[in-house]
Amino acid sequence: MSILVTGGAGYVGSHTVRWLRRSGQSVVVLDDLSTGHRCAVPDGVPFVQGSVDDPALVVDICRTHAVSAVVHFAAKSLVGESVSNPRKYWTGNVVATHALLGALLDAEVGKLVFSSTAAVYGEPETPHLLESHPKRPMNPYGRTKLVIEELLSDYARLGLRSIALRYFNAAGAEPSDGLGERHDPETHLVPLAIGAALGTRPALTVFGNDYATKDGTCVRDYVHVSDLADAHEKALARLDLVDGHTAYNLGSGDGYTVKEVLDQVARAAGVPVPHTFGPRRAGDPAVLVADSTKARSELAWAPVRSLDRIVDDAWRFHSNAR
Ligand code: UFG
């Protein structure tokens, strides 16, 4: 039996493939390499280059590799791009996932873990977000992820059990395995700050320093990508107990300001991070921190890698890749 990992050549996907393999599971990766990296898939893991929006291919993979469950990462995931090109997101996320689910039903694969996001919530009404928090996504990226969660909930009636994992701010790396964050374009704070400290990227612009937070910059909940990978393994194990569909927040519950992250990067780099202060970025809430009580109690999951470990691992990955 194998686990099919769609998008397994991407950032969180490749770390999850590594994690599942280390726990002795057979994995097959399907990735179209539109944003993923072939070299992020370890030797010995069956790899198929193709789209989840190809039902015949998905059915063939499921039958050839005796797939028992799917972890579905393959997606478009840039918030800004989703605003300028929503069609790419509705097609690449919702239409493609609908095709994938049809193929899974045809292949009689009844279990799926879905890569979702805190972007499904929109502007927080409370500093710590529970899964029951109102969902008013502020961009097409978050809307497409929410619609897919609703699709999964409906498809439970067709025999597909699923869990959506809503990541807060994924960061960090596994430098000893050559795995880390390599988006193009890069929009995320930690790799941009490291690039600025290394001199491989321009000085960072901090988006706003007039928020009602302790130092005026935005607060986020950073979670190590390997802690996220661990959650996927635990969610796969939980699927047999799920009554249809459910969702879990994945975050540490601790918030750090942008300035605190820059200080942490400066400690790892041994030099300050060159930065300037600019205007707020549209759509950025002041504070976004998870309440992951549900994942802690039902999945027995807890993130164990703190912000200094996240930044140290990312620093080693980016300085090795220089
Ligand atoms: N930031 C800067 N300058 C930059 C980049 C980021 O100041 O050049 C700030 C942002 O304003 C924010 C923080 O750093 O306060 C983190 O920003 P990221 O872009 O790294 O992450 P986001 O919090 O915007 O987004 C993350 C995920 C999204 C997801 C969202 C959920 O990356 O996929 O959380 O709200 F949608």
Q: Which residue has the tokens 């897919």?
A: 148
Is the pLDDT at 321 greater than 90? The verdict is no
Active site residue 89: no
SS3 285: coil
Class level of CATH domain 175-221+253-320: alpha beta
251-277: average pLDDT: 98
Q: Which of 89, 141, 167, 211 is catalytic?
A: 141
158-172: average pLDDT: 98
Asked if 314 and 197 count as a contact pair (C-beta separation under 8 A), the reply is no
254-267: average pLDDT: 98
> Is residue 189 within 6 Å of ligand 1 at its C-beta?
yes
Residues with Cβ within 8 Å of 75's Cβ and at least 6 positions away in sequence, in order, are 7, 92, 93, 97, 115, 145
By most ligand atoms within 8 Å of CB, the mutation choice from 133, 256, 258 for ligand 1 is 258
Omega before 134 within 30 of 0, i.e. cis: no
| Span 95-145, pLDDT tens digits | 999 999 999 999 999 999 999 999 999 989 988 999 999 999 999 999 999
pLDDT at 262: 98
**DSSP labels, 9-65:** TSHHHHHHHHHHHHTT--EEEEE--SSS-GGGSPTTS-EEE--TT-HHHHHHHHHHT
Query: How far, in Å, is the centroid of ligand 1 from the Cα of 94?
Result: 23
Asked if 73 and 10 count as a contact pair (C-beta separation under 8 A), the reply is yes
CA distances from 8 to 33, 179, 185, 238 (A): 9, 12, 19, 21
| Band of residue 285 on the pLDDT scale cut at 50, 70, 90 | confident
Residue 298 has phi, psi (to 5 degrees) of -90, -30
What proportions of the chain, in percent to the nearest 5, are helix, strand and coil? 45, 20, 35
Beta bridge partners of 113: 71, 163
> Is residue 188 within 6 Å of ligand 1 at its C-beta?
yes
Distance (Å, rounded) from C-alpha 208 to C-alpha 4? Answer: 41
pLDDT at 215: 98
Distance (Å, rounded) from C-alpha 239 to C-alpha 297? Answer: 15
Identity of the amino acid at 286: A
> Over the Cα atoms of the chain, what is R_g?
19
Asked if 46 and 21 count as a contact pair (C-beta separation under 8 A), the reply is no
Beta bridge partners of 163: 113, 246
Look up the pTM and report it. Answer: 0.97
pLDDT at 251: 98
Q: Where in the chain is the domain with CATH 3.90.25.10?
A: 175-221+253-320
Identity of the amino acid at 134: P
Query: How far, in Å, is the centroid of ligand 1 from the Cα of 79?
Result: 9
Is the pLDDT at 320 greater than 90? The verdict is no
SS3 301: coil
Q: DSSP class of residue 136?
A: -
By most ligand atoms within 8 Å of CB, the mutation choice from 35, 79, 225 for ligand 1 is 79
Query: How far, in Å, is the centroid of ligand 1 from the Cα of 138?
Result: 14
Asked if 233 and 20 count as a contact pair (C-beta separation under 8 A), the reply is yes
> Is residue 287 within 6 Å of ligand 1 at its C-beta?
no
CATH superfamily, domain 2-171+223-250, is NAD(P)-binding Rossmann-like Domain (3.40.50.720)
Asked if 273 and 222 count as a contact pair (C-beta separation under 8 A), the reply is no
pLDDT at 12: 98
Residue nearest atom 11 of ligand 1, based on CA coordinates:
207
> Is residue 129 within 6 Å of ligand 1 at its C-beta?
no
| Span 177-211, pLDDT tens digits | 999 999 889 999 999 999 999 999 999 999 999 99
| Band of residue 322 on the pLDDT scale cut at 50, 70, 90 | low
